Structure 1
Amino acid sequence: MRVLVVTAVAAEADSVAAGLTGPGPDARQLPGGYPLSRHAGVDVLTAGVGPAAAAAGTATALATGAYDLVVSAGIGGGFPAHAPVGALVVADAIIAADLGAETPDGYLPLDELGFGRSAHLPPAELAARIAKTLDAVHAPVLTVSTVTGTAARAAELTRRHPRAAAEAMEGFGVAEAAAAHAVPVVEIRAISNPVGPRDRAAWRIGQALDSLRYAFQQLAPVLEEKPAHE
């Protein structure tokens, strides 16, 4: 099958590519200037940071090539109770955690407002198989437009999403584009820092990028199978 892996920045794309086997990549630019490297069975896209950039880049790639699966991949923050620094997380749900409205009674997600959806569910069997292959946490991943930097916001997200293991900025945008093209999507995150007060000294970006490379080294047998469209 043909797989599109969508990352936010070049360092993530490089780590994914380093984990892939086969001939050297064929590098090109898609319309809009999105860098894409083609490997045996897998294309790796650098789409930009945030859900809007991720959706635009993913949609561009899907409009220019045929794919059987889209993977949103990169580093992210981990909720310490579920995913410590260095862990891998495979989403069983991709949730837009701050797409909605604040009200006097609390936060309302987009679906409760009647304006669309606020979650995508990856193909259950495929996501579980990937999580098992990687010995990864299998739990919801939150997509946020603003990275959490306080204990209060981390606590609020945990209250609303008690099973969430990670947060990042692109998964829901990738999933929206994939859904528009009727292509299944999964999300894989390597944890670089705890979700909570912003402490750059505690970030382990290099370790997380190494974990991301390891993940794609292990995934070749799974990515060779065509997933069921669920």
Structure 2
Amino acid sequence: MSGLLVVTAVPAEAEAVRAGLTDPSVTVRPVGVGPAVAAAATARLLALAEAAGRPYRAVVSAGIAGGFVDRVAVGGTVLADRSVAADLGAESPTGFIPVEELGMAPELLGVGRTVAADPTLLVALRAALPAATVGTVLTVGTVTGTAESTAILAGRHPDAVAEAMEGYGVAVAAALADVPFAELRTISNPIGPRDRDAWRMRDAFAALTTAAAALR
């Protein structure tokens, strides 16, 4: 059996994770941006490892993210207790309608719009990262970039602490392969109106390197 698989979106995130690793059995792979490519690439990596007789023990979606103001600080670390496909549904004159209320059935695959982190894996990561904020991490196909959409999203998900673009996709691949899953993020910017000058990418990557020591 292989060790832990860590999936990131881009090479810079993978490099930050590798820089902090202390366990040589951890495999880090950048797979691309967005839930679809993350799901497909993770599923392929898990299937290839299983076919080779060396299945992974667990998979972690890791990288940087936007954080909700007053819920997590920029530069902070987040552990997801669950990963949610925040925009999987439909708009309507009365507001957002989640996919499960549209008569569709993602649960037929055993996976709904929300995938909980593996409890044992989450406990281990919380013990290793006691200062991390724990809460829901949203997966979106389009990064939130206005005050209005931020307020709507925060209202729909009062327990959400961050948003990223891959966690739910990785979670679905892991769930269908029956592999434990967790999501680890460090915060590079506040969610809201797009302001590149306010982003602290260097701090987020440094925090990711520090947090990577917990991945073992």
Specify if TM > 0.5: yes
5 Å-filtered alignment, 1:1-230, equals 2-21=3-22, 40-65=24-49, 66-113=55-102, 114-116=104-106, 117-134=112-129, 135-217=131-213, 219-220=214-215, 223=216
Partner deviation per Cα, 1:184-212 (whole Å, 9 max, x = no partner): 11000000000011000000111101100
Distance, in Å, in 1 between the alignment partners of 2:6 and 2:173 is: 13
Distance, in Å, in 2 between the alignment partners of 1:120 and 1:110 is: 14
Task: Report SS of the residue matched to 1:103.
Answer: coil
Q: Return the offset for 1:164.
A: 0.5
Task: Report SS of the residue matched to 2:87.
Answer: coil
Q: TM-score, normalised by structure 1?
A: 0.85
- Answer with 193-202 or 177-186: which moved more: 177-186
Task: Name structure 2 gaps, 5 residues minimum.
Answer: 50-54, 107-111
Task: Name structure 1 gaps, 5 residues minimum.
Answer: 23-39, 224-230
Q: What amino acid is aligned across from residue 13 of structure 1 in structure 2?
A: A
Q: 1:2 to 1:176 in 2, by over 3 A?
A: same
Task: Report SS of the residue matched to 2:123.
Answer: helix
Q: 1:79 to 1:132 in 2, by over 3 A?
A: farther
Q: Return the offset for 1:108.
A: 1.3
1:122, 1:184 within 8 Å by CA — same for their partners in 2? Answer: yes
CA RMSD of aligned residues (A): 1.2
% same residue: 52
Q: What amino acid is aligned across from residue 167 of structure 2 in structure 1?
A: G
Q: Return the offset for 1:146.
A: 0.3
Task: Report SS of the residue matched to 2:179.
Answer: coil
Task: Report SS of the residue matched to 2:178.
Answer: coil
Partner deviation per Cα, 1:44-85 (whole Å, 9 max, x = no partner): 111000001101110110011111101000000000111110
2:121, 2:181 within 8 Å by CA — same for their partners in 1? Answer: no
